[in-house]
């Protein structure tokens, strides 16, 4: 199966880690921005931001396609049209000069967004089959108590009679879910 090379999803690599305080301390004028791109411009914007050394997060997931009777794997944005920028006003303007952006909105609670995006990245890294969830409904907040996703927090939802853990990006009112056994969860 030919595989197209995966592009950078997080720049710098430690952007979503708990050590973010170091990056924030270096540049206290930086804040999180939600960038809504023009159609199918997420990766091109990400390449531009890397070239200008602007921190960003673009969650990418694998997608298999059949092209001319060959299976090809590509990486597509998890949240279509969205890139998360951690930058100053000048870096925001640098992003706007690409002509790939529809609008940019400041994030009120940047720490919460960073934690939620780190949880989303942990699910992507686990290679579990993910389902995109939109317009979230409130549920029971839980934490995974064992296994490879131990410590991950989310909300329990039921889909087709199965228990799923929903990891939300509250700001977008979207998230991803993964099927999980009830016995692996503990209430918060």
CA dihedral (114, 93, 54, 40) in degrees, to 10, reads 80
Query: In sequence order, what are the residues at sequence separation of 6 or more whose Cβ sits closer than 8 angstroms to the Cβ of residue 180?
Result: 144, 149, 163, 164, 165
Handedness of CA 148, 120, 85, 4 (dihedral sign): positive
pLDDT reading at 84 higher than 80 = yes
Residues 137-161 have a mean pLDDT of 85
User: φ and ψ at 88, to 5 degrees?
Assistant: -90, 180
pLDDT in tens, 178-187: 998 877 888 8
Per-residue confidence at 64, pLDDT binned at 50, 70, 90?
confident
Amino acid 187: pLDDT: 85
Query: In sequence order, what are the residues at sequence separation of 6 or more whose Cβ sits closer than 8 angstroms to the Cβ of residue 176?
Result: 78, 120, 123, 130, 131, 132, 133, 166, 167
Amino acid 135: pLDDT: 65
Pick the closest to residue 100 from 57, 49, 155, 158 (CA basis). Answer: 49
Tokens of 146: 């064992």
Per-residue confidence at 70, pLDDT binned at 50, 70, 90?
confident
DSSP string, 39-96: TT-HHHHHHHHHHTT--EE--EEEEEEEETTEEEEEEEESSTTEEEEEE-HHHHHHHH
Amino acid 139: pLDDT: 80
pLDDT in tens, 40-62: 999 999 999 999 999 999 999 98
Amino acid 23: pLDDT: 59
Amino acid 3: pLDDT: 59
pLDDT in tens, 13-44: 999 987 554 455 456 789 999 999 999 999 99
Per-residue confidence at 163, pLDDT binned at 50, 70, 90?
confident
Amino acid 1: pLDDT: 46
Amino acid 19: pLDDT: 59
Pick the closest to residue 109 from 17, 23, 34, 18 (CA basis). Answer: 34
Amino acid 11: pLDDT: 95
Q: Give the Cα separation of 19 and 1 in Å (integer).
A: 37
pLDDT in tens, 87-136: 999 999 999 999 999 999 999 999 999 999 999 999 999 998 888 876 66
Whose structure tokens read 């708990």? 18
Tokens of 78: 């998890």
Domains of the chain by start residue, with CATH: 10-107 (3.30.70), 109-181 (no CATH)
């Amino acid at each position: 199966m030919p595989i197209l090379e995966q592009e950078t999803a997080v720049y710098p690599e430690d952007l979503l880690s708990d050590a973010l305080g170091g990056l924030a301390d270096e540049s206290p004028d930086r804040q999180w921005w939600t960038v809504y791109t023009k159609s199918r411009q997420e990766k091109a914007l990400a390449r531009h931001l890397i070239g200008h050394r602007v921190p960003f997060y673009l969650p990418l997931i694998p997608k298999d396609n059949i092209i001319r009777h060959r299976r090809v794997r590509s990486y597509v944005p998890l949240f279509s049209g969205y890139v998360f920028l951690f930058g100053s006003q000048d870096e925001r303007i640098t992003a706007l000069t690409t002509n790939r952006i529809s609008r940019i909105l400041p994030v009120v609670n940047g720490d919460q967004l960073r934690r939620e995006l780190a949880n989303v990245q942990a699910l992507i890294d686990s290679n579990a089959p993910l389902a995109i969830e939109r317009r979230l409904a409130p549920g029971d907040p839980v934490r995974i108590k064992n296994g490879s996703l131990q410590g991950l927090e989310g909300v329990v939802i039921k889909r087709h009679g199965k228990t799923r853990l929903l990891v939300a990006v509250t700001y977008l009112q979207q998230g991803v879910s993964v099927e999980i056994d009830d016995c692996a969860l503990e209430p918060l």
